Chains A and B, each alone.
Chain A
């Protein structure tokens, strides 16, 4: 992202990996030996910590025109609304019908969607499937607030791409102006969509081919069988592990995590869950963690953190803890879990860095959106109405972000520096000082929260970019949209592990508090 902002940047690789010939900016092949540079074009930016005390910068002044936000410091708890006022009492919902019905229907649609795409392939799904998918997606608002303009706008936004599918047959997500809409949709990258479909097709390891003796055939050489250690007994290549690609799809939240193309294992992890607050109103949560690759066992760190944060949230939220407070506590619990990993004896190995990871989490409840984070994993807000501006909800604990926040560099300079992606905050035993950041928002329109690691946002850094690649029907088909986002990152080179969770946010319906 920041590469394009640099004035006359040298080629990021410096010299050709094949023959050491010096490269120029924009080279796609080595001028001397013809080495294809595209595979190695963007040097990896591993998530690495630097040991500096963190001065968390004050949030920028609020732009009254944009999404109303106010970043809260932990000691500001409990949360405030977007105007900085105390939060109103969360309305008690006794019927639970509108949200529940919508969620269940969405779940059915989401569950049906991948199979539909995979089995019936292109063009055949035309009329039926879109209708099914559209209806439940519109239902949460429609049930409580009939005729609300935002719903009317969203409907074409969903039917648009599906309509295009039946008419063009070029791809399920090929975007064209919708038949009944009066505006053109923000087009998702069609390559991303195409890339995402194969990703979605084999969702489970069970689909992998297996040999006659019950052991799997190596995916690398297709000759040998896979031994008990997960390696091919012929060519020795490691086989895909369960963690290489993970998906989870709940009624109101979905997440996808992928190893990417350049890393040998997936050091990201996530956790998603649905629960209910003390008043019975539904809450969904997602936690995404990115293992620090320069530390030992980053994969264990991220898994432990995500799992601990999930458990903490599922304990705190139903007890009536304010979601922002719950997020704060969950991050502390995650940090404790990662710190505990370092205490495990490492035998007589030489000194190694303690396990570490980043964390970003989000909770969506009735009318309230909470995010919390440590490190450079991010949350974005993308409104369903794409004519309204999206926003980034988190501020990285990174060197570049600090430089910009401190006014020492502009964004272009800061992100051009090789230290740009060094993180200044993380979970782990050697963390300088745990400083969880949390923020609460009261969005005034429906949208989707994108919770992701830098493996995704490196390929869609600005909020506008993220909004552009997020499929318009993300709220209705969060799993599919997450697959598309992962596909976008893979298409861009997949230099890092990619993890994204999507939480649709629906406006609280005015009638919801009324138990009629």
Chain B
């Protein structure tokens, strides 16, 4: 594993934004923790030593539906070829064809290939032999990917999964079990192509495996998307980073959420890490910045008192099993004051991300209400979403919302449900509902 003290490794910084002042009797402490990794291998920089330590498995849906229309299979083949071309020399890789069973397409024999001109050409050649036919059992694809990825000694282990339909040929529990087995062993981006797949299934895979989820409604867009995904994977420098939260005696943890670039509730994914400390998984990191919202409840203290409400640190485990390395840390404080002006101020970052989390929630609830025929509920929730998106400057989400509702007045959240909504638009909104924007400068 990388030695983090060496100058070539990425540097992590932790910034805490909060209003630490509590009124007399106040107990709730909210903070936005911005984690930024810089100075690592940015895209384009070629570093063979680091490249060797990455492994990627591409999982392609080859079920029968991929031929209807045939552009899907063709798009998937071309996209995979583009992704293979994006692999850095020296990266371990494999291609898996997924149906109701998982089959190795390249290189086979339970191995990973090492990317170079020859293996890339062989892999692309092997793609030509792919044909659609069979069912969908995503759990089997993930288990095979896990076996392949663990066969190489790579620090960064990543999967890219493409599906076009529902996970119909295994029980939901089997997919869940596969996700549980793979969680923490590799990260995985999941994509749905077309509109016949289940949003919650694809988002669930990405959530469990700490990757991204998105829709590629038009197969023609697959190549660009796969290339971007692979570039991001190649930019990852450090794997298995965890957000460690230490809290003093008597402090209750309200929630721990990633709030940028997307909203992901991590509260339930805590693993205990010593006295009063717990780790929340964040996956692998390249040059990027993410925000987390930490909410804790502290015991009451007298005015004038100050305490540490939580210590937030970024840690990576020692591959040799020793003590984990702390990359950076920040402090969340609580200070009791009788100055009302200070204690009632709301930190702009906390307010913003509270709004972004509500936005994601309003979209999901609004779409659920719409599906269940509750038009009043859907109008209210999606109206609120429009209002929040407009107020926070989340232009992408506002645009997606405008394809599902007619906006009468964004400022007040007055909307009408569209009578006819393209399925792709609704699925895009649902898939991307958790995307957030950062605080306006």
Interface residues of A (CB under 8 A from B): 17, 39-40, 43-44, 46, 221, 224, 229, 231-238, 259-265, 293-294, 348, 350
Instruction: Establish whether residues B341 and A237, one from each chain, have CB atoms under 8 Å apart when the complex forms.
Output: no
Instruction: Establish whether residues A40 and B305, one from each chain, have CB atoms under 8 Å apart when the complex forms.
Output: no
Residues of A within 8 A of B336 (CB): 264
Given contacts A236-B309, A293-B339, A294-B341, A262 and B303 within 8 Å (CB-CB) = yes
Instruction: Establish whether residues B305 and A264, one from each chain, have CB atoms under 8 Å apart when the complex forms.
Output: yes
Instruction: Establish whether residues B339 and A264, one from each chain, have CB atoms under 8 Å apart when the complex forms.
Output: no
Closest to A43 in B: B338
Instruction: Establish whether residues B302 and A39, one from each chain, have CB atoms under 8 Å apart when the complex forms.
Output: yes
Listed by A's residue number, 6 A-B pairs whose Cβ atoms lie within 8 Å are A229-B331, A231-B331, A261-B304, A262-B304, A264-B335, A264-B336
Instruction: Establish whether residues B339 and A237, one from each chain, have CB atoms under 8 Å apart when the complex forms.
Output: no
Residues of B within 8 A of A348 (CB): 441
One of A43, A44, A236, A350 near B248 (C-beta < 8 A): A236
B window 315-345: CB within 8 A of A = 331, 333, 335-339, 341-342
B307 on the interface (CB 8 Å rule)?
yes
B250 on the interface (CB 8 Å rule)?
yes
Instruction: Establish whether residues B304 and A235, one from each chain, have CB atoms under 8 Å apart when the complex forms.
Output: no
Given contacts A229-B331, A348-B441, A238 and B341 within 8 Å (CB-CB) = no
B110 on the interface (CB 8 Å rule)?
no
What are the nearest 9 A-B pairs in CB distance?
Answer: A236-B248, A238-B306, A231-B308, A236-B308, A264-B306, A236-B307, A262-B304, A264-B335, A237-B307
Not counting A44-B338, A265-B306, a sample of 8 additional A-B residue pairs whose C-beta atoms are within 8 angstroms of each other reads: A17-B24, A39-B302, A236-B298, A237-B305, A237-B306, A262-B303, A293-B339, A348-B441
One of A40, A46, A235, A350 near B250 (C-beta < 8 A): A235
Closest to A39 in B: B302
Tell me the complex Cα distance, A238–B336, Å: 12
Closest to B303 in A: A262
Tell me the complex Cα distance, A67–B408, Å: 76
Distance (Å) between the CB of B409 and the closest chain A CB? 28
Tell me the complex Cα distance, A80–B309, Å: 57
Tell me the complex Cα distance, A235–B276, Å: 10
B348 on the interface (CB 8 Å rule)?
yes
B25 on the interface (CB 8 Å rule)?
yes
Tell me the complex Cα distance, A296–B397, Å: 36
Residues of B within 8 A of A39 (CB): 302
B369 on the interface (CB 8 Å rule)?
no
Interface size on B, residues (CB 8 A): 29
Residues of B within 8 A of A233 (CB): 248
Distance (Å) between the CB of B419 and the closest chain A CB? 43
Tell me the complex Cα distance, A294–B343, Å: 12
B247 on the interface (CB 8 Å rule)?
yes
Residues of B within 8 A of A232 (CB): 248, 307-308
Distance (Å) between the CB of B414 and the closest chain A CB? 30
Instruction: Establish whether residues A238 and B339, one from each chain, have CB atoms under 8 Å apart when the complex forms.
Output: no
Contact indicator per residue, chain B 264-303, by CB within 8 Å of chain A (1) or not (0): 0000000000000000000000000000000000100111
Instruction: Establish whether residues A17 and B305, one from each chain, have CB atoms under 8 Å apart when the complex forms.
Output: no
Distance (Å) between the CB of B100 and the closest chain A CB? 52
Number of A-B contacts (CB under 8 A): 68
Instruction: Establish whether residues A229 and B308, one from each chain, have CB atoms under 8 Å apart when the complex forms.
Output: yes
Closest to A221 in B: B249
Interface residues of B (CB under 8 A from A): 24-25, 247-251, 298, 301-309, 311, 331, 333, 335-339, 341-342, 348, 441
Closest to B332 in A: A236
Instruction: Establish whether residues A17 and B25, one from each chain, have CB atoms under 8 Å apart when the complex forms.
Output: yes
Residues of B within 8 A of A235 (CB): 248-250, 307
Distance (Å) between the CB of B299 and the closest chain A CB? 8
Residues of B within 8 A of A260 (CB): 304
Distance (Å) between the CB of B276 and the closest chain A CB? 8
Distance (Å) between the CB of B385 and the closest chain A CB? 26
Instruction: Establish whether residues A264 and B304, one from each chain, have CB atoms under 8 Å apart when the complex forms.
Output: yes
Instruction: Establish whether residues A236 and B251, one from each chain, have CB atoms under 8 Å apart when the complex forms.
Output: yes
Residues of A within 8 A of B308 (CB): 229, 231-232, 236-238
Tell me the complex Cα distance, A234–B308, Å: 10
Given contacts A40-B24, A229-B331, A235-B249, A46 and B306 within 8 Å (CB-CB) = no
Instruction: Establish whether residues A44 and B24, one from each chain, have CB atoms under 8 Å apart when the complex forms.
Output: no
Instruction: Establish whether residues B338 and A264, one from each chain, have CB atoms under 8 Å apart when the complex forms.
Output: no
Distance (Å) between the CB of B61 and the closest chain A CB? 43
Candidate in B298, B303, B335, B336 with the most chain A CB atoms within 10 angstroms:
B303
Tell me the complex Cα distance, A221–B309, Å: 15
Residues of A within 8 A of B24 (CB): 17, 40
Instruction: Establish whether residues A238 and B348, one from each chain, have CB atoms under 8 Å apart when the complex forms.
Output: no
Given contacts A17-B25, A238-B305, A350-B348, A264 and B250 within 8 Å (CB-CB) = no
Residues of A within 8 A of B302 (CB): 39
Residues of B within 8 A of A263 (CB): 304, 337
One of A40, A236, A293, A350 near B303 (C-beta < 8 A): A40
Given contacts A17-B25, A264-B304, A236 and B247 within 8 Å (CB-CB) = yes
Instruction: Establish whether residues B249 and A234, one from each chain, have CB atoms under 8 Å apart when the complex forms.
Output: yes
Tell me the complex Cα distance, A264–B302, Å: 10
Tell me the complex Cα distance, A263–B331, Å: 20
Distance (Å) between the CB of A223 and the closest chain B CB? 8
Candidate in A224, A231, A236, A237 with the most chain B CB atoms within 10 angstroms:
A236
Closest to A223 in B: B249
Residues of B within 8 A of A238 (CB): 305-308, 333
Distance (Å) between the CB of A262 and the closest chain B CB? 4
Tell me the complex Cα distance, A126–B311, Å: 53
Distance (Å) between the CB of B439 and the closest chain A CB? 9
Residues of A within 8 A of B25 (CB): 17
Distance (Å) between the CB of A265 and the closest chain B CB? 7
Distance (Å) between the CB of B351 and the closest chain A CB? 11
Residues of A within 8 A of B333 (CB): 238
Closest to B17 in A: A349
Residues of A within 8 A of B335 (CB): 264
Tell me the complex Cα distance, A39–B338, Å: 12
Closest to B250 in A: A235
Residues of B within 8 A of A237 (CB): 248, 301, 305-308
Closest to A229 in B: B331
Residues of B within 8 A of A234 (CB): 248-249
Distance (Å) between the CB of A329 and the closest chain B CB? 34
Residues of B within 8 A of A350 (CB): 348
Tell me the complex Cα distance, A238–B311, Å: 13
Instruction: Establish whether residues B441 and A231, one from each chain, have CB atoms under 8 Å apart when the complex forms.
Output: no
Distance (Å) between the CB of B22 and the closest chain A CB? 10
Tell me the complex Cα distance, A262–B336, Å: 9
Tell me the complex Cα distance, A260–B301, Å: 16
Residues of B within 8 A of A17 (CB): 24-25
Instruction: Establish whether residues B306 and A44, one from each chain, have CB atoms under 8 Å apart when the complex forms.
Output: no
Residues of A within 8 A of B337 (CB): 263-264
Tell me the complex Cα distance, A44–B348, Å: 26
Instruction: Establish whether residues A262 and B338, one from each chain, have CB atoms under 8 Å apart when the complex forms.
Output: yes
Residues of B within 8 A of A43 (CB): 338
Residues of B within 8 A of A262 (CB): 303-304, 338
Tell me the complex Cα distance, A406–B303, Å: 37
Residues of B within 8 A of A231 (CB): 248, 307-308, 331
Closest to B338 in A: A44
Tell me the complex Cα distance, A263–B339, Å: 10
Tell me the complex Cα distance, A235–B24, Å: 19
Distance (Å) between the CB of B301 and the closest chain A CB? 8
Closest to A13 in B: B338
Closest to B15 in A: A347
Instruction: Establish whether residues B338 and A40, one from each chain, have CB atoms under 8 Å apart when the complex forms.
Output: yes
Distance (Å) between the CB of A394 and the closest chain B CB? 25
Tell me the complex Cα distance, A236–B304, Å: 15
Closest to A18 in B: B25
Tell me the complex Cα distance, A233–B307, Å: 10
Residues of B within 8 A of A259 (CB): 304
Tell me the complex Cα distance, A11–B336, Å: 22
Closest to B310 in A: A236
Tell me the complex Cα distance, A265–B339, Å: 14
Residues of B within 8 A of A44 (CB): 338-339
Closest to A294 in B: B341
Tell me the complex Cα distance, A39–B25, Å: 13
